[in-house]
Structure 1
């Protein structure tokens, strides 16, 4: 809706459900909150986030978010998601001027190429998006060093993920969903799908719930 330079901030609409991290935390603690997090709502949130990142990647010049994680996805009253916190975002053309940019220091969501000292690319955002699809905080209980070692060794979170949902809700598209997750967090950046393909697959899965 607007921006301010001092202090630097972006003004958006109010999102009463707070962040996706908050939504998932409540779902893990309260059965009534877990029951609200249906597969339809999860897919809507995931699709919105994918489209938001795709918008950034298709901008001219392209923009990398560089800090994709559940605390940086806001959820509004209608269960739609908004990408936020662009503090680490990078405009790709700046690299040609020698600007080294800034890297996130929390390894929980970072792609292996970034953990190994490389530069973040569009595929690095896609890796982090794959971590979002677990619907939990990845690598819970591990130290940052252990997370880095696990990711570089090719380990990934449990699939299918332990979803915070009440009851035994059936989802016919679960295997396709899990395959999409695996594709997003492929070790080699070139093996990860583009966000246009990710958004298309999520749309297909969402339509399958109709």
Structure 2
């Protein structure tokens, strides 16, 4: 017992000296107590002491980790090193975006003066994202100015604004509307197009007041065929001659403008997308307008050039019949069906005259052209995309079938 007490006094003195040294923290004091316990306490107490020490050490380490200040982002994660500009929802969509430098950037003050401060009397149309104004630019050029509404600042609206500029701003074709410039100022977004005297095809087809103001019907059969051929040529250019190819994705009557000679110009490229060289489709969510949208898009499949072909076929039937694709047609003594189903049934049965606009006079000598016209529309509106022709094939077929069609 005496020797044990001596060892205890010696160990106690050693631990006391150890505690008074540079390592006089609480942890080491607690360790000293644990060592004394080894000499005097039973095994159960020893185990409890060791477990307590480990627990307290982990607790202190965890608290120290929480108190650490976060380190700055590594250089490879800073916004300056990213291949795109990082913006937030509240950031203005302006200088952070790159636009085609070939386009003329116009100030908001110039456009306000050109449209008489965006007077209601200057409005010549409206679209999905705002009103269109007739403007007299300082250069003397008459233009159409689309002033985007607040909806244009949604993610979709901003994408469409960019797509319109980057796509249409770089394309030149007789059957595509020309964009002359744009304005991006604070929270105002405007697009400037060439002014086309006859406005939209949709107005000529469905605005009775517009037709009544004319002494004679201007949408004769030859004029309608000319419009269809112009739209077909524009789509062929987009699909076959652009690099990379472009899918419009929203072909419809309101997106076809007419110049003084009723030459068609495709406009509104807000939903347009480029196809990569390695792909024949665009992997995006469904886009388009009810009544014109291809069946595969309604089912959630990817967009291809054949979706534009389907919309073009719908437009052909709309132009020939003067019926809106989004409005159902009542079958004789039967239920209401879509325009496409109604027209395709009559094409199959050879009842072509029933499809034609009754206000349009078509002589028997033109029925051969009507038959060829309807055959093309029928092929373009096939349910299966694989059965539809390409726009290049459509142009070739129409040139062969309708080569004698002229506008008097």
Q: Is the TM-score greater than 0.5?
A: yes
Number of the residue aligned with 2:182: 4
Number of the residue aligned with 1:183: 379
Q: Kindly state the Cα deviation for residue 83 of structure 1 after the two structures are TM-superposed.
A: 0.5
Question: Taking structure 1 as reference, are residues 15 and 117 closer, same or farther at Cα in structure 2, changes over 3 Å only?
Answer: same
Distance in 2 (alpha carbons) for counterparts of 1:165 and 1:95:
48
Say whether the 8 Å CA contact 2:226–2:263 is kept in structure 1: yes
Q: Pick one of 190, 198, 219 that aligns with 1:37.
A: 219
| 2:267 pairs with 1:71 | no
Question: Taking structure 1 as reference, are residues 14 and 119 closer, same or farther at Cα in structure 2, changes over 3 Å only?
Answer: same
Number of the residue aligned with 1:57: 239
Aligned 1:47-196 pairs, distance under 5 A: 47-58=229-240, 59-93=242-276, 100-104=283-287, 106-134=289-317, 135=319, 136=322, 137-141=324-328, 156-158=341-343, 159=347, 160=352, 161-163=355-357, 165-170=359-364, 171=366, 172-196=368-392
Question: Taking structure 1 as reference, are residues 18 and 30 closer, same or farther at Cα in structure 2, changes over 3 Å only?
Answer: closer
List, as ranges, runs of 4+ consecutive aligned residues in structure 1 with deviation greater than 3 Å: 26-34, 99-103, 164-170
Question: Taking structure 1 as reference, are residues 107 and 72 closer, same or farther at Cα in structure 2, changes over 3 Å only?
Answer: same
TM-score, scaled relative to structure 1: 0.81
Q: Deviations over 1:8-36 (max 9, x none)?
A: 63x43211211111111146984657721
Number of the residue aligned with 1:147: none
Q: Deviations over 1:111-162 (max 9, x none)?
A: 00001111111000000000110113114148xxxxxxx67xxx62424323
Say whether the 8 Å CA contact 1:67–1:88 is kept in structure 2: yes
Instruction: Report the RMSD for the aligned CA atoms in angstroms.
Output: 2.8
Say whether the 8 Å CA contact 2:253–2:315 is kept in structure 1: yes
Distance in 1 (alpha carbons) for counterparts of 2:303 and 2:266:
18
Q: Pick one of 186, 189, 200 that aligns with 1:19.
A: 200
Distance in 1 (alpha carbons) for counterparts of 2:388 and 2:260:
32
**Unaligned 5+ runs, structure 1:** 143-149
* Structure 1 SS opposite 2:360: coil
Distance in 2 (alpha carbons) for counterparts of 1:173 and 1:85:
30
Question: Taking structure 1 as reference, are residues 95 and 204 closer, same or farther at Cα in structure 2, changes over 3 Å only?
Answer: closer
Q: Which has the larger radius of gyration?
A: 2
* Structure 1 SS opposite 2:312: helix
Greater share of residues in strand: 2
Q: Which has the higher contact order (CA 8 A, sep 6+)?
A: 1
* Structure 1 SS opposite 2:182: strand
* Structure 2 SS opposite 1:60: coil
Question: Taking structure 1 as reference, are residues 23 and 30 closer, same or farther at Cα in structure 2, changes over 3 Å only?
Answer: closer
Say whether the 8 Å CA contact 1:28–1:34 is kept in structure 2: no
Question: Taking structure 1 as reference, are residues 36 and 198 closer, same or farther at Cα in structure 2, changes over 3 Å only?
Answer: same
Q: Kindly state the Cα deviation for residue 95 of structure 1 after the two structures are TM-superposed.
A: 9.6
